[in-house]
Amino acid sequence: MHNKTIAELAAGLRDKEFSSRELTTHFLARIGQYNPALNCFITVTEELALQQAEAADARIAAGKAGPLTGVPIVQKDIFCTKGVRTSCGSKMLDNFIAPYDATVVERLGRAGTVMLGKANMDEFAMGSSNETSFYGIVRNPWDTNAVPGGSSGGSAAAIAARLTPGATGTDTGGSIRQPAAFCGITGLKPTYGLVSRYGMIAFASSLDQGGPMARSAEDCALLLQEMAGFDEKDSTSVKRTVPDYRAGLNERLAGLRIGLPEEFFDEALDSEIARTIEAAIAEYEKLGAEVKKISLANMRLSVPVYYVVAPAECSSNLARYDGVRFGYRCQNPKDVHDLFMRSRGEGFGAEVKRRILIGTYVLSAGYYDAYYLQAQKIRRLISEDFKQAFEQVDVILGPTAPSVAFGFGEKTSDPIAMYLSDIYTIGVNLAGLPAMSIPVGFSSNRPVGMQLIGNYFKEAQLLNIAHRYQQVTDWHRRVPANFM
Amino acid sequence: MEWETVIGLEIHAQLATRSKIFSGAPTAYGAEPNTQACAVDLGLPGVLPVLNGEAVRMAVKFGLAIGGTIAARSIFSRKNYFYPDLPKGYQISQYDLPVVSRGHLNILVDGEEKTIGITRAHLEEDAGKSLHEDFHGLTGIDLNRAGTPLLEIVSEPDLRSAQEAVAYMKKIHALVRYLRICDGNMQEGSFRCDANVSVRRMEQNEFGTRAEIKNLNSFRFVERAINFEVERQIALLEAGGRVVQETRLYDADKGETRSMRSKEEANDYRYFPDPDLLPLEIGPAFVDEVRGQLPELPDAKKERFKAQYGLGEYDAAVLTATRETADYYEAVVGAAGCDPKLCANWIMGDLSAALNRAGVEIDQTPVTAERLAGLLQRIADSTISGKIAKQVFEAMWEKGATADALIEQQGLKQITDGGEIATIIDQIIAANPEQVSQYRAGKERLFGFFVGQAMKATRGKANPQQLNALLKQKL
**A151-208 pLDDT, tens digit each:** 999 999 999 999 999 999 999 999 999 999 999 999 999 999 999 999 999 999 999 9
Q: Residue A319 and residue B39: Cβ atoms within 8 Å?
A: no
Task: Say if B278 is an interface residue toward chain A (CB within 8 Å).
Answer: yes
Host H or E run for residue A380: helix A374-392
Q: What's the gap in Å between the CA of B23 and the closest CA on chain A?
A: 9
> Percentage of chain B with pLDDT > 90?
72
Cβ-proximal residues to A413 (8 Å cutoff; 6+ apart), any chain: none
Alpha helices, DSSP H, located in B198-322:
219-238, 284-293, 298-309, 313-319
Q: What's the gap in Å between the CA of B298 and the closest CA on chain A?
A: 37
The residue count for chain B: 475
Amino acid identity, residue B318?
V
- Of the pLDDT bands very low, low, confident and very high (cuts 50, 70, 90), residue A328 is very high
Residue ranges per structural domain of chain A: 6-256+393-483
* Structure confidence at residue A230 (pLDDT): 98
Whole-number Å distance between alpha carbons of A28 and B38: 35
Q: Give the β-pairing of A257-261 and A290-294.
A: parallel
Q: Which of B46, B271, B278 sits opposite A80 (nearest CB)?
A: B46
Cα B147 versus chain centre, distance = 25
Average pLDDT over residues B453-471: 81
Instruction: Note the pLDDT tens digit of each residue in A447-480.
Output: 999 999 999 999 999 999 999 999 999 999 999 9
Q: Residue B45 and residue A86: Cβ atoms within 8 Å?
A: yes
Side-chain-side CA neighbours of residue B230 (13 Å): 22
Whole-number Å distance between alpha carbons of B29 and B31: 6
Q: Are B393 and B471 in contact (CB under 8 A)?
A: no
Mean pLDDT of chain A: 97
Amino acid identity, residue A42?
I
DSSP state of A469: H
Whole-number Å distance between alpha carbons of A115 and A136: 22
B383 phi-psi bin (left φ>0, alpha ψ -120 to 50, beta other)? alpha
> Percentage of chain A with pLDDT > 70?
100
Q: Are A264 and A293 in contact (CB under 8 A)?
A: no
- Of the pLDDT bands very low, low, confident and very high (cuts 50, 70, 90), residue B340 is very high
Average pLDDT over residues B388-395: 90
Question: Which is the catalytic residue, given A87, A175, A302, A437?
Answer: A175
CB atoms within 10 A of CB A329: 17
Count contacts between A and B (CB, < 8 Å). Answer: 101
Residue ranges per structural domain of chain B: 3-267, 296-409, 418-474
Query: 3-state DSSP helix/strand/coil percent for chain A, to nearest 5?
Result: 45, 15, 40
Terminal-residue alpha carbon distance, chain B:
71
DSSP state of A263: G
B356 phi-psi bin (left φ>0, alpha ψ -120 to 50, beta other)? alpha
- Radius of gyration (C-alpha) of chain B in whole angstroms: 30
* Structure confidence at residue A416 (pLDDT): 85
Whole-number Å distance between alpha carbons of A239 and A242: 9
Our separate counts of H helices and E strands in chain A read: 15, 11
Q: Residue B48 and residue A98: Cβ atoms within 8 Å?
A: no
Cα A412 versus chain centre, distance = 21
* Structure confidence at residue B414 (pLDDT): 74
CATH of A6-256+393-483, one of 3.40.50.300, 3.40.50.1820, 3.90.1170.50, 3.90.1300.10: 3.90.1300.10
Q: Are A162 and A8 in contact (CB under 8 A)?
A: no
Using CA atoms, how far residue B295 sits from B175, B291, B302, B469, in Å, is 10, 9, 13, 51
Q: Residue A324 and residue B42: Cβ atoms within 8 Å?
A: no
pLDDT value at B1 more than 70 = no
* Structure confidence at residue A253 (pLDDT): 97
Looking at beta carbons, which residues of chain B come within 8 Å of A233? 48, 50
Cβ-proximal residues to A128 (8 Å cutoff; 6+ apart), any chain: A122, A149, A150, A151, A174, A175, A178, A411, A418, A419, A421, A422
Using CA atoms, how far residue B220 sits from A83, B110, B216, B226, B250, in Å, is 51, 18, 9, 10, 12
Q: Residue A322 and residue B278: Cβ atoms within 8 Å?
A: no
Looking at beta carbons, which residues of chain A come within 8 Å of B276? 202, 205, 235-236
* Structure confidence at residue B440 (pLDDT): 86
Beta bridge partners of A228: A195
Peptide bond into A151 cis (omega under 30): yes
Whole-number Å distance between alpha carbons of B203 and B201: 6
**What single string gives the DSSP state of each residue in A383-418?**
HHHHHHHHHH-SEEEEESSSSS--BTTTTTT-HHHH
Beta bridge partners of A291: A258
Q: Quick one: which of B114, B113, B147, B156 has its CA closest to B128?
A: B147
Residue A152: active-site member: no
Average pLDDT over residues A258-278: 93
pLDDT value at A251 more than 80 = yes
Q: Quick one: which of B379, B396, B9, B377 has its CA closest to B219?
A: B9
Instruction: Note the pLDDT tens digit of each residue in B14-33.
Output: 999 999 999 999 998 889 99
CATH of B418-474, one of 1.20.120.340, 3.40.50.620, 2.40.420.20, 1.10.10.410: 1.10.10.410
The residue count for chain A: 484
* Structure confidence at residue B260 (pLDDT): 87
Residue in chain A lying closest to B83 (CA): A336
Task: Say if B381 is an interface residue toward chain A (CB within 8 Å).
Answer: no
pLDDT value at A241 more than 70 = yes
Task: Find residues 334-353 of chain B whose CB sits inside 8 Å of chain A.
Answer: none
Instruction: Note the pLDDT tens digit of each residue in B343-381.
Output: 999 999 999 999 999 998 898 999 999 999 999 998 888
Mean pLDDT of chain B: 92
Q: Residue A365 and residue B270: Cβ atoms within 8 Å?
A: yes
Instruction: Note the pLDDT tens digit of each residue in B399-456.
Output: 888 888 888 887 777 777 777 888 888 888 888 888 888 888 888 888 888 888 888 8
Q: Residue A86 and residue B276: Cβ atoms within 8 Å?
A: no
Whole-number Å distance between alpha carbons of B475 and B473: 6
Q: Which of B39, B88, B272 sits opposite A312 (nearest CB)?
A: B272
Please tell me whether residue A7 adopts helix, strand or coil conformation.
Answer: helix
Cα A285 versus chain centre, distance = 28
Spell out the long-range contacts of B169-174 with Cβ–Cβ below 8 A and sequence spacing 24 or more: B169/B9, B169/B11, B169/B193, B169/B219, B169/B222, B170/B219, B171/B105, B171/B106, B171/B107, B171/B298, B172/B11, B172/B13, B172/B105, B174/B298, B174/B321, B174/B322
Looking at beta carbons, which residues of chain B come within 8 Å of A312? 272
Q: Quick one: which of A174, A170, A147 has its CA closest to A160?
A: A147
Q: Are B222 and B45 in contact (CB under 8 A)?
A: no
Q: Are A335 and A455 in contact (CB under 8 A)?
A: no
Whole-number Å distance between alpha carbons of B175 and B194: 18
Q: What angle do CA B151, B154, B158 make, to 5 degrees?
A: 150
* Structure confidence at residue A145 (pLDDT): 97
Please tell me whether residue B327 adopts helix, strand or coil conformation.
Answer: helix
Q: What's the gap in Å between the CA of B93 and the closest CA on chain A?
A: 14
Amino acid identity, residue A295?
S
Alpha helices, DSSP H, located in B239-368:
284-293, 298-309, 313-319, 323-336, 340-346, 352-358
Alpha helices, DSSP H, located in B162-218:
162-178
Whole-number Å distance between alpha carbons of B459 and B463: 11
Amino acid identity, residue B278?
L
* Structure confidence at residue B429 (pLDDT): 85
Cβ-proximal residues to A97 (8 Å cutoff; 6+ apart), any chain: A83, A84, A85, A86
> Percentage of chain B with pLDDT > 70?
100
Please tell me whether residue A435 adopts helix, strand or coil conformation.
Answer: strand
Question: Which ipTM score applies to this complex?
Answer: 0.96
Q: Which of B51, B78, B80 sits opposite A235 (nearest CB)?
A: B51
Q: Are B385 and B391 in contact (CB under 8 A)?
A: no
* Structure confidence at residue B28 (pLDDT): 87
DSSP state of B249: E
Whole-number Å distance between alpha carbons of A334 and A229: 47
- Of the pLDDT bands very low, low, confident and very high (cuts 50, 70, 90), residue B182 is very high
Cα A467 versus chain centre, distance = 19
Terminal-residue alpha carbon distance, chain A:
11
Whole-number Å distance between alpha carbons of B230 and B125: 31
pLDDT value at A108 more than 80 = yes
Chain A interface residues (partner B, CB cutoff 8 A): 79-80, 86, 88, 93, 96, 98-100, 102, 197-202, 204-206, 232-236, 312-313, 315-316, 318-320, 322, 324-327, 336, 340, 360, 363-365, 368, 372
Whole-number Å distance between alpha carbons of A152 and B50: 28
A418, burial (CB in 10 Å: exposed 0-12, middle 13-18, buried 19+): buried
Residue A403: active-site member: no
Looking at beta carbons, which residues of chain A come within 8 Å of B277? 235-236
Instruction: Note the pLDDT tens digit of each residue in B185-235.
Output: 999 999 999 999 999 999 899 999 999 999 899 999 999 999 999 999 999
